[in-house]
Structure formats: structure tokens, C-alpha cells
Structure 1
């Protein structure tokens, strides 16, 4: 017992120094890791992701990627996602992520092998929760989109003389109203119809389908008569 006390007393300072150094190293490594992660995420968007089974491997644009607290980080634009797990059908699809909307990826792999089917039969709750999460996000997206563009609630409008619809712009979340009419008169009917519904057409970008602007003449597309 005396020997133990002597050993502790003799090397107490060295032990404290060693522990302090180890703590500082751990803190430094944590800071470096945090800075590295922040640099890797710079200019990227957080995309919610939920995969069943959770052990599946995820690839974005052909590169393996790890999730962080239920999210992946991607650059704005179009991407390809691949999810695979032994015994399950491989999932491949494309998705787009932009500043205004980075839709979550909710993917449940279908079982193929007997072991995978047994696992599936024991975990139906995980697939149910996945469906509910995807549905809830879809509802929230629709609500926000309609709040931003309330005119979409009345579209499309189909009249014997004109049709009014809209085309979303995925990069910005904006929309273009599309108006199709067989004559200038009917196109004006469409404009007047929107105003009667309480919407000002000049507040929107409008595309007239089947109509060519006569002022939009390309150089060399006509011959000057003498």
C-alpha cells in the first residue's frame, strides 16, 4: 500500500501533465474535424434523408456519402442517388436541390433474399414511419408553394377558347403562367379572366403558347424589298 502511495506521489505531476496533454489533443482533433466538416459543407445544401434499412450504403453522383444527423450535404443542382444493401433491391433515382427547396430523400428498400424478407416482416413500423415522413414533407411543400403562388389553386383553367396553366422553374421556385389561345382576342379573354379572379397578370411571367412575337425577328430572317 505504501508503495502505491509513493508511486502516485512521485508521478502525480507527470500523470497530470499527461492527462492534460491528452485532453488538449482530443480537443484539437475535435476542432480540426469540425472545421473540416464545415469546409466540406460550404456552399452545399442540407437534404433530409431517411433510409430503411439504415445500414444501407448511400452514393451521391457515384461517390459514397455519410449521413450526419439525418442529413446529407450536396451542391445546388441535379444529382443521382443510389442506395444498396445486401439482400435488398438497389434503389437508383435522380433529385434536384436548390436554395428554395431541397426535398428530403425517403427511401425504403424492397427485400429480395429470405433473410431480408424476414427482417422486413419484423420491422414494418420503420417503413410506415418512412411513408408518414415523406407524406408530411409533401404536404408542407404543397402548403408553402400555394402560399407563395396562390394563383396555382385555380389552375389549370380550361375554356373553349383558351387554356391557362403554369410551368414551375425548379432552379428558382418561380412559375411561368402559360396561356394558349387560338387568336389575340382569345388570349386577351384569358388575361381578363385572370383579373376577374382577383389576380393581376402583370405580376407574373407569362408564356403564350402557339404565339410568335412578330417583333422578335432574327437578323437575316426576312428579305428587304426594293
Structure 2
């Protein structure tokens, strides 16, 4: 199968280890992964802020870059949701065509590769935050949890209010900072109350918001992307 990684802007700029972990994980499972260097933003920020016309060139570029791949794997629920849910609304046939071939990472593992035990080892206590796009748009359901439950050494703790938004929401956090901060504080408190050493999610944008709130509270709990947990093995922790 021809598989490409769409690393996303946030990961490329701030969290490159998530992209590296995604490739390491997939290669360990026997998947050869390409990284088309011409990729750029998917246009989510523009689309969500109402700049639909400015989104179209980015969607065309995405479609052109990934048109020859059978699968596009994305370590981000929100960017995967942008392509899958919004590209078909743009009136661009090429963009609509690539949408059903675009998968969030945990979807690709469970639905395409048909695996839940990826051979990971992560000896820590973890709680999982299901991000809004993954939960409500992609409907990931229990896919991430099933993967985490099969990680050797990992203890998974329940998160109160797990399905509540963390308050990031992209430009929502910029336009409504007080509300965003209050929501983040609620999420951080629930994370701390879980007793976990780390909070895990499928979106680094949400983890950035939660992690920043935790850091300002002086909390020792650290944010970690699910790809980095699943890529970890004994002697090689991301």
C-alpha cells in the first residue's frame, strides 16, 4: 500500500517528535511511509474562521500533493476532520476525492491495519482526553482507548468530564480567552484528580492548551501525544 504522512502545521512547527513517532510506529508495523515535502497547511484555521475562499487553494494543494497515495495518515484528529468533513463542502472535486482516503492515526491502525496491540511499552499511569474533532466529527469512539489498553506497562486512568472540551478550539482561545482559560482549568483539574502521570490525546493543539494550564498550576502531569506512547518500546521511549 502507498501511505503518506500529513504531519500538520502544529506538529511540524512545535512537535516534530510526534511526526517521527508516527513514522517509527508505522514502519515497525511493516508500513512504508512517504513524506511529501510539498505539503503545507490543510486550511483548517482559515475555514473555521470564515475564510472559505482562502481555504480553497490550500485544499487544492493538499489534493495535488496526496493524489497518488492510497492512504494519508494524520496524527491529528482536527486536521483529519478538516479534510474528511469539510473538503467535500468546498466544491473542489480533487479535494473531495482525497477526503475518504485520509485517516487519523488511531483509525488507520484499528480500521486499516486491524491492530490494537502495536508492541508498545510505556510504564506510566496515563489518562486519555478525547478531543472534540476526534470525538464528534470523526467519531473515533473507543479506538484510542483500545490501543492504549494493549500497551505493556501502561495503567489507564479514567478522566472525569472526559468528553468536555478543553477550551482550546483554535481561534476560539484567541477570541474568548477568559472562557478558554476557565475550560482549560476545569480540564486540568480533572487530569490532576485522575492521579495520572501523563495526559494523552490525539491532538497536540489540545495538549498544548492543557499542558500549558497544567504547567501554570505547577502540576507534574505532562502532556504526551498518543503516537509517542504507541511508538515507545522497552529501551526506546519517545
TM-score computed with the length of structure 2 as normaliser: 0.21
Which one has a larger percent strand, Structure 1 or Structure 2? 1
Q: Which has the higher helix share?
A: 2
Q: TM-score, normalised by structure 1?
A: 0.22
Higher RCO (C-alpha 8 Å, min separation 6): 2
* Rg (Cα) greater in structure: 1
